[in-house]
Amino acid sequence: MIVNKKYIKRHKMGFVYFHWINAVSFFMLLLTALPLYADSFRFLYDTFGAATLQYAHRVFAVIFILNPIIGLVTAHDGIRRLVKEVVSFGRDDIVFNQKFPAELIGKEPEGIPPQSFYNGGEKMNILLQAVLWALLVISGAVLWFGDGVVSPVIRTWMIPLHSICAGFGFAAAIGHIYLAVGVNPDSCHGMLDGTVKASYAVKHHGKWVDELVAQSSLTEDEVKKAVEADEPVEDASIQARPV
C-alpha cells in the first residue's frame, strides 16, 4: 500500500508502540541502576534518592516484561515477522554482514544482495535483544523474588549475569541508534508512523518489496511511481537504485 505518494506501509502502529515502549523502558532501567554499575553515576542516587530509583527500576521492569507479552496481541503481526525473519537467517544475510560495515563509515560497498524485511544485521540485533531480554528477565526476577526461595549459590550468579546483559544491551542499542539515525535516517520513519520511503525500501529491502508485489499488495508500477516521486531530493545518498 502506497501512502502519501512515496511511502510504503511497513509496520502497524501496535508494533511501533511495542518498539518505543521497549526502548524507553530499557533506557530507564539502565539509568535507574547505573549507580550500582559505575561509581561515576553515584550522583543519580544522591539526586533522586536510592529508594526512588530502585522503586522506579521495578516499575519499568514490569513494563519491560509485560510489553512483549501484551505485544503478542497488540503487535501480533510485527512480532510474528520478527520471529520468521530471525529463523530464516541465510546466505544472503551472511554476505550482507560481511559487506555492509563499509557503509558505516560512508562508503558504498558493491554487491550487497537484496535483503528481506530485515537485513542480516537487523536479524542479529533482534536475536541478541530477544536473548538479552530473556536473560535480564530471569536474572532480574531471581534477584527480586529469590530471597528465601532460590539458593544463595544460584542467586549470587544472577548479579554478574544481569549486569553483563545490561552492558551488552546498551552497546547494541547504541549501534542500533547510530544505524537508524546516522546511517539510514529513512528507516526511522518506519518507527514513527509505520511507513518508509519506497526508494529506501527498494534499496535496502529489495526482497521484501518483491514479496509485496508477489502478494499483489503493490504493483511494480506503483513502486516505480513512488520511487520517482522521491527523485528530486537534494541528498544524493538516499536516491533510489533503478528498479
Nearer to other proteins, 147 or 220 (CB): 147
Among 83, 87, 164, 188, contact with other proteins (rule: CB under 8 A): 164
Among 51, 69, 73, 214, contact with other proteins (rule: CB under 8 A): 51
Residue 166 host element (H or E): helix 152-177
Among 13, 72, 171, 192, contact with other proteins (rule: CB under 8 A): 171
Q: Does 48 bind other proteins (CB under 8 A)?
A: no
The C-alpha atoms of residue 88 and residue 214 are separated, in whole angstroms, by: 19
Among 54, 97, 217, 239, contact with other proteins (rule: CB under 8 A): 54
Q: Does 157 bind other proteins (CB under 8 A)?
A: yes
Q: Does 155 bind other proteins (CB under 8 A)?
A: yes
Q: Does 149 bind other proteins (CB under 8 A)?
A: no
Using the rule CB under 8 A, give the single segment among 114-122, 147-155, 190-198, 199-207 that binds other proteins. 147-155
Q: Does 36 bind other proteins (CB under 8 A)?
A: yes
Query: For helices 50-74 and 120-145, what crossing angle results, to 10°?
Result: 130
Min separation Cβ 146 and other proteins, Å: 7
Residues near 179 by beta carbon (within 8 Å), at least 6 away in sequence: 104, 121, 187
> Counting beta carbons within 10 angstroms of the beta carbon of residue 120, is it exposed (0 to 12), middle (13 to 18) or buried (19 or more)?
buried
Asked if residue 19 lies in contact with residue 191, where contact means CB atoms within 8 angstroms, the answer is yes
Q: Does 138 bind other proteins (CB under 8 A)?
A: no
Give the DSSP letter of residue 149: T
Q: List binders of other proteins among 72-131 (CB under 8 A).
A: 104-107
Asked if residue 222 lies in contact with residue 190, where contact means CB atoms within 8 angstroms, the answer is no
**CA neighbours closer than 13 Å in the CB half-sphere of residue 27:** 9
**Among 89, 170, 175, which residue's Cα sits nearest to residue 136?**
170
Binding site for other proteins (CB under 8 A): 35-39, 45, 50-51, 54, 104-107, 143, 146-148, 152-153, 155-160, 163-164, 166-168, 170-172, 174-175, 177-178, 182-183, 236-237
